[in-house]
Amino acid sequence: MSRVNENFLKLPGSYLFSTIGKKVKEYQEANPDKRIIRLGIGDVTLPLPPAVITALHAATDEMSVQDTFRGYAPDLGYEFLRSAIAECDFRRRGVELSIDEIFVSDGAKSDSANIQELFSADARIAVCDPVYPVYVDSNVMAGRTGTYDIASGRWSNVIYMPCTAQNDFVPELPEQVPDVIYLCFPNNPTGAALTKEQLQRWVDYANEKKAVIIFDAAYEAYISREEVPHSIYECAGAKTCAIELRSFSKNAGFTGTRLAYTVVPKELVLDGVALNGLWARRHGTKFNGAPYIIQKAGEAVYSEEGQKQVAEMVGYYMNNAKVIYDGLKAAGYTVSGGVDSPYIWLKTPKDMGSWDFFDYLLSQANVVGTPGAGFGPSGEGYFRLTAFGSYENTVEAIERIGRLS
Ligand code: MLT
């Protein structure tokens, strides 16, 4: 008799953003006259940059002609895209990568969920708390997290690294030694960023302990401060201990178009085995390549016009971030993030619980955000707003919230 993978039964009933979506839908159905402003999920709202659209059209036309039609894409990605990535995202920042170290995929969410397959079933993972839920949930599904304690909101076999106001939302090196360390910087959800010096400490620690860092750099385009590195490979020694995840979603608006890549350096070796070869094997077995049309669109992001247009998009969202940050501060909120990140992290007023504040904001201001508690126990008492809305909606949402105080 077949049996289900019982690890799935340990998970909360639905994924954080599905729970929020359901609550908002119910509210809207009960209050059809209310105009809800959504600053919850970090989904972009601006259309794709013109350079990307032109590339999409051209690639679509190629697919209509016998001579230029393409079937399966190479498992690891087309060379034209991997070369553009190596040149623009790395070489220009002083990091040399061979294209064999770059694996193109259909999204950083899938990559961040799948990457745990490289590690042993008993690998001990460390995560920031609060954390992007995918890192933990994917390890729960793999049976790596132990049992869940409802009172603390923690899994027994996971090492939590609290990111709180006391440490400026920058995690301390853990006391217990992990095998795999998930770091997302600029951070989702707190919006905090690590300086190169701070990140170097993690790289040194991982090399010393023979741990692997999964560095999620999905928000690197939002970095504004000089001292914040865009890639972990800007730190000395990172190639022997770190995997980096990148996305086209947040910089170039590909949330609905799906394109990302993962860097697994050849120097990253565990138990005498290069992870690069394992990831290539996994990719080849489970993935048939991101579509040609989408990879051509990704290549266009690195063109001169593409880079200019992407910078304008990021600037637009960062202006929203400033509107949120300044507006909430003026309304008396304690706020952080929003400087190297599209996320603003605020303390809920009057020690309100995160989910209570969610309900309060939805019903009183018709504004949707994300409760900090949804990202982990240290997120309780906090709330996340995203800068990915339209400027007009962002201004209105902040005015509505301001009127509540
Ligand atoms: C978020 O809101 O945290 C992001 O949209 C999640 C994601 O990128 O998958």
The predicted pLDDT at position 279 comes to 98
Q: Is 180 helix (H, G, I), strand (E, B) or coil?
A: strand
Q: Is the CB of 113 under 6 A from ligand 1?
A: no
* Candidate of 43, 136, 187 to mutate for ligand 1, largest count of ligand atoms within 8 Å of Cβ: 43
Tell me which residue has its CA closest to atom 5 in ligand 1. 42
> pLDDT digit string (tens) for 75-85?
899 999 999 99
Distance 260 CA to ligand 1 centre (A): 14
Q: Which residues of 92-115 are buried (b: 16+ CB within 10 A; e: fewer)?
A: eeebebebebbbbbbbbbbbbbbb
Question: Quick one: tokens of 234?
Answer: 């800007």
**pLDDT at residue 12 is higher than 90:** no
pTM here is 0.97
> pLDDT digit string (tens) for 173-182?
999 999 999 9
**pLDDT at residue 405 is higher than 90:** no
First to last CA, the chain: 59
Selection from 115, 71, 76, 107 nearest residue 284 by Cα? 76
* Candidate of 17, 20, 131 to mutate for ligand 1, largest count of ligand atoms within 8 Å of Cβ: 17
Q: Is the CB of 173 under 6 A from ligand 1?
A: no
Task: State how far the Cα of 177 lies from the Cα of 209, in Å rounded to an integer.
Answer: 7
Q: Is the CB of 124 under 6 A from ligand 1?
A: no
**pLDDT at residue 13 is higher than 80:** no
Distance 356 CA to ligand 1 centre (A): 21
| Cβ contacts of 57 within 8 Å, gap of 6 or more | none
Question: Quick one: tokens of 153?
Answer: 């909101």
The predicted pLDDT at position 189 comes to 97
The predicted pLDDT at position 14 comes to 81
